[in-house]
Amino acid sequence: MLNLVVTFKRVIRISGGYYVALPKGWVEQLGLAGSYVKIEYLPDGSLLVRPAERGREEQLSVKVLCDEHVFRRILSAYLKGYEVIEVELSPGCLDKARAGVESAQRLLPGLELVEEGSERLVLQCFIKPDYNLDSIIYRMDSTTREMLLKATDLLLGGGDASAVSALDDRVDRLYFLAVRIMRRRIRDPTLSPDERLRLLDMRLTAKNLENLGDSYESLARLDARLPEEGLAEASRALADLQRRSVKLFLEGSESRDELLLDYRRLEEYLKSREGVWPRAVVEKLAFALVLVKDIIDLA
């Protein structure tokens, strides 16, 4: 243990900033060389310096107003990583607040109403901070691919559009969960630049998958029925390309060159379907293909 002693350090100005050297023994004992410290400003004007604990989560709370935008306010607080969300009630606003809370609970994983009173509703999010982001991305991928194949069945005269919409709701829930976790993690000051860049790429990939879900849902809603004409085969090829692209992004275990070759082949095939399939079908599949290409580019 270090001896508890009082030391005096000179404040040095370097390039417009001010610096104070930390005691060598303290740094070495705690293994802080090259790492981070947390500095807190205290009411009496002093500073508290202590090691930054990597991955430690603090319980964050926020108050939101009850108005016509209460659902959006709860959603925003959730995505920012707040653990406790307090909805302040104004006269006559209880029903509106309850409706917003119920909508949020349907869409946002882990969000629970833990207190209901005459002046406030309190929501708490029970999400583990160490949730595996890769598993969420894989789940978004498999769910959106299932949507594509079900939408194709609908265009060929079978299936249930409501099943596709239910899957899209699942994708949205996974997306909001992923964004919440990523935004909490990126506030960790000990993250390396490479780790921050990885989180940014994960966010973009998750958004691409969420957009794919929206695209496949809109495909299922088209009022169009068409004979086979290669649609089932093209959908399976697109689904497989998406699966391999996500695998390349997360694992690096696929060949980028092969993926790009298959992308170009499918792009040309969709162009050849213009005038054969309804225009909206070709456009939506082509847009989905571009989103998949974006995932390849991020890998």
- State the average pLDDT over residues 227-237: 89
Average the pLDDT over each of 19-28, 31-40, 237-246 and give the range with the smallest value: 31-40
Q: What is the pLDDT of residue 34?
A: 60
Q: What are phi and psi of 195, to 5 degrees?
A: -65, -40
The DSSP symbol for 47 reads E
Per-residue pLDDT of 160-218, as tens digits, reads: 889 999 999 999 999 999 999 999 888 888 788 899 999 999 999 999 999 999 999 99
Q: What is the pLDDT of residue 90?
A: 87
What residues contact 92, with CB distance under 8 A and at least 6 apart?
A: none
If we measure between CA atoms, which residue out of 17, 18, 56 comes closest to residue 36?
56
Whole-model pTM over 0.75: yes
Q: What is the pLDDT of residue 130?
A: 76
Q: How many angstroms from the chain centroid is the CA of residue 95? A: 30
Per-residue pLDDT of 60-76, as tens digits, reads: 889 998 988 999 999 99
Give the chain's mean pLDDT.
87
Confidence label for 53 from pLDDT (cuts 50, 70 and 90): low
The token duo for 18 is 């001010």
Label residue 251 exposed, middle or buried (CB < 10 Å: 0-12, 13-18, 19+): exposed
Q: What is the pLDDT of residue 221?
A: 92
Has residue 15 got a pLDDT over 90?
A: no
Q: What is the pLDDT of residue 4?
A: 53
Confidence label for 30 from pLDDT (cuts 50, 70 and 90): low
Q: How far apart are CA 200 and CA 220, in angstroms?
A: 31
- State the average pLDDT over residues 140-159: 94
Q: What is the pLDDT of residue 205?
A: 98
The token duo for 123 is 């929501």
Pick 238 or 56 by higher pLDDT: 238
Has residue 87 got a pLDDT over 90?
A: yes
Percent of the chain scoring above 70 in pLDDT: 87
Q: What is the pLDDT of residue 141?
A: 98
Pick 52 or 237 by higher pLDDT: 237
If we measure between CA atoms, which residue out of 263, 268, 250, 254 comes closest to residue 289?
263
Q: What are phi and psi of 26, to 5 degrees?
A: -65, -45
Confidence label for 35 from pLDDT (cuts 50, 70 and 90): low
Q: How far apart are CA 44 and CA 193, in angstroms?
A: 35
Q: How far apart, in Å, do the first and last CA atoms of the chain sit? A: 47
Pick 187 or 39 by higher pLDDT: 187
Confidence label for 3 from pLDDT (cuts 50, 70 and 90): low
Structural domains in the chain, CATH included, are 12-51 (no CATH), 61-125 (3.30.110), 133-298 (1.20.58)
Pick 268 or 29 by higher pLDDT: 268
